[in-house]
């Protein structure tokens, strides 16, 4: 398997965390983005960070930074689009997306997404809860760069929900087991950060 490039989605406003760069919050003395990079680097090729505002504040990471190309923070799909546009310039045909606030995602995420998307245009991660319900994780996916123009048009038309767009394109799905906890647990609030310390 050729390692695809990846985009870390960090372009949100983190309102539930009190604002600022949520990915810079410290977990066991290291930023959430550092934990994400530890899991992501062995699985992918080049990595780009999607973030809005002054990119200089991320210069210590040594990653290219791309902002949303659409105004008013239209959500994670805008970050996926920014990653797609960047990947197209690198000559890549697909890109993986992960969230900057999810430090425990699976170490076989990319391999599993590739397997699910073998005969499909794209694939998303999902988890099954103890009651058997499947929850999609729409910020974790494998996206074909060729669909970036379709995605841009959808966003310009007001679409914001990731799964509404992915369902249009017959997205595949990889269901990961949430044992001993959901690997896609994400840090949205100060209380979540405390819980992440316990999980770590």
Q: Are 151 and 80 in contact (CB under 8 A)?
A: yes
The answer to the question of residue 19 being in a domain is: yes
pLDDT mean over 38-47:
97
The answer to the question of residue 47 being in a domain is: yes
The answer to the question of residue 101 being in a domain is: yes
Res. 65 pLDDT band, cuts 50 70 90: very high
Res. 146 pLDDT band, cuts 50 70 90: very high
| pLDDT at 123 (0 to 100) | 94
Q: Are 136 and 126 in contact (CB under 8 A)?
A: yes
The answer to the question of residue 1 being in a domain is: no
The answer to the question of residue 69 being in a domain is: yes
The answer to the question of residue 123 being in a domain is: yes
In total, how many domains does the chain have?
A: 1
Evaluate if residue 198 carries a pLDDT over 60: yes
CA distances from 200 to 9, 23, 76, 78 (A): 21, 16, 26, 30
pTM over 0.75: yes
Tokens for 154, please give them: 């959808």
User: How far is residue 56 CA from its own chain's centroid?
Assistant: 21
Please choose, from the candidates 151, 42, 148, the residue with its C-alpha nearest in 3D space to the C-alpha of residue 92. Answer: 148
Q: How far apart are CA 84 and CA 88, in angstroms?
A: 6
Per-residue pLDDT tens over the stretch 87-142:
999 999 999 999 999 999 999 999 999 998 888 889 999 998 878 888 899 999 99
| pLDDT at 180 (0 to 100) | 78
Q: Are 4 and 94 in contact (CB under 8 A)?
A: yes
| pLDDT at 132 (0 to 100) | 83
What does residue 153 show for φ and ψ, rounded to 5 degrees? Answer: -65, -40
Tokens for 41, please give them: 């680097």
The answer to the question of residue 103 being in a domain is: yes
Q: Which of 8-22, 46-60, 158-172 has the highest mean pLDDT?
A: 46-60
What does residue 47 show for φ and ψ, rounded to 5 degrees? Answer: -130, 135
The answer to the question of residue 99 being in a domain is: yes
Q: How far apart are CA 45 and CA 194, in angstroms?
A: 32
User: CATH number, domain at 11?
Assistant: 3.90.550.10
Domain that includes residue 125, residue range: 6-199
| pLDDT at 179 (0 to 100) | 67
Evaluate if residue 20 carries a pLDDT over 90: no
Please choose, from the candidates 198, 154, 156, the residue with its C-alpha nearest in 3D space to the C-alpha of residue 180. Answer: 198
User: How far is residue 27 CA from its own chain's centroid?
Assistant: 19
């Amino acid at each position: 398997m050729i390692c695809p490039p990846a985009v870390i989605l960090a372009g949100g406003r983190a309102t539930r965390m009190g604002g600022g760069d949520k990915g810079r919050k410290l977990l066991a003395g290291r930023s959430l983005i550092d934990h994400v990079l530890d899991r992501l680097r062995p699985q992918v090729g080049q990595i780009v960070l999607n973030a809005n505002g002054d990119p200089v504040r991320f210069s210590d990471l040594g990653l290219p930074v791309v902002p949303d190309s659409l105004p008013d923070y239209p959500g994670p799909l805008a970050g996926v689009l920014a990653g797609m546009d960047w990947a197209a310039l690198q000559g890549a045909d697909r890109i993986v997306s992960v969230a900057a606030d999810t430090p425990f995602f699976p170490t076989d995420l990319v391999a599993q997404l590739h397997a699910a998307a073998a005969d499909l245009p794209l694939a998303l991660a999902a988890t099954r809860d103890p009651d058997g319900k499947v929850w999609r994780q729409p910020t974790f996916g494998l996206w074909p760069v060729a669909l970036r123009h379709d995605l841009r048009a959808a966003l310009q038309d007001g679409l914001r929900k990731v799964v509404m767009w992915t369902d249009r394109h017959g997205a595949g799905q990889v269901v990961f087991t949430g044992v001993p906890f959901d690997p896609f647990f994400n840090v949205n609030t100060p209380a979540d950060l405390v819980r992440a310390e316990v999980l770590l």
